[in-house]
Amino acid sequence: MTESAIPSLIAQRFRGFLPVVIDVECGGFNAQTDAILEIAAVILRIDENMQLVRDTTHFYRVVPFAGANLEEAALKFTGINPHHPLRIAHPEQEVFRDMFGHIRTRMKDEGCKRAIIVAHNAHFDHGFVRAAAERHNLKRNPFHPFSSLDTVALAALCLGQTVLSRACVAAGLDFDPEAAHSARYDAEKTADLFCYMINRWQELGGWPLAESDNTLVDEPDAGTAA
């Protein structure tokens, strides 16, 4: 193992996975047919105080892929106008190549073997990311193919809330409803919530990892649990 691949604390904490918080804003609910309009990826790190914190945010406005469906109700909900003349957006393939590149670089730096999606209703965002990677034949998708970490389930357990805004308030985090439904804002608030819950669990004695259990995850096979 090279020096750059020595497992970091975050690799040890998440069994070789790099948690990356994702939020996708879309033109509908169908990952196969509906456009991705915005996506943000928040990469996390463990700081000098052993706290999980936000590090870098990669945010993109996305040009709908050719033939993509745009539901009027979804556009009204997000407030995104994909045809606005001042909207600076990039082709979907370009966006995902750039985002995946940033994530793979951090995986190498942290000694992680895979990234894992963290999201609020993670199956939704995971589905859109996977569909985009398949649509553009991107072979180096860094994310685990089917496992994810869902902040809805974690917030229900830790805070008795499942709605992102209410969970943030219960955790003592600021939440601006006027800023919601931007991929950047929602991803960063989801990241703050996830970090709060992980750090609180650590404070209660749920971590650090036992010295005898420092095995990192192997590359997953289809049908194999993470």
Question: Residue 155 in contact with residue 193, Cβ under 8 Å?
Answer: yes
pLDDT tens readout for residues 116-160 = 999 999 999 999 999 999 999 999 999 999 999 999 999 999 999
pLDDT tens readout for residues 164-202 = 999 999 999 999 999 998 999 999 999 999 999 999 999
Identify the helix (H) or strand (E) that includes residue 21. Answer: strand 17-26
Give the pLDDT score at 207. 78
Give the pLDDT score at 7. 79
**Region 25-50 average pLDDT:** 97
Of the listed 83, 84, 136, 181, which one is catalytic? 181
* Burial class (CB within 10 angstroms; exposed 0-12, middle 13-18, buried 19+) of 219: exposed
Residue position matching structure tokens 């750039």: 98
Give the pLDDT score at 116. 98
Q: Is 102 a catalytic residue?
A: no
How sure is the predictor about 219, in pLDDT bands with cuts at 50, 70 and 90? low
pLDDT tens readout for residues 45-80 = 999 999 999 999 999 999 999 999 999 999 999 999
Give the pLDDT score at 1. 42
Give the pLDDT score at 5. 53
Give the pLDDT score at 212. 42
H runs (alpha helix) in the chain: 9-13, 72-78, 92-110, 122-135, 151-159, 164-170, 183-201
Count of other CB atoms within 10 angstroms of residue 134 = 12
Average pLDDT, the chain: 91
Cβ neighbours of residue 28 under 8 Å, at least 6 residues apart? 34, 35, 69, 70, 71, 74
**Parallel/antiparallel/unpaired status of strands 114-119 and 143-150:** parallel
Cα 87–93–95 angle (5° rounding)? 50
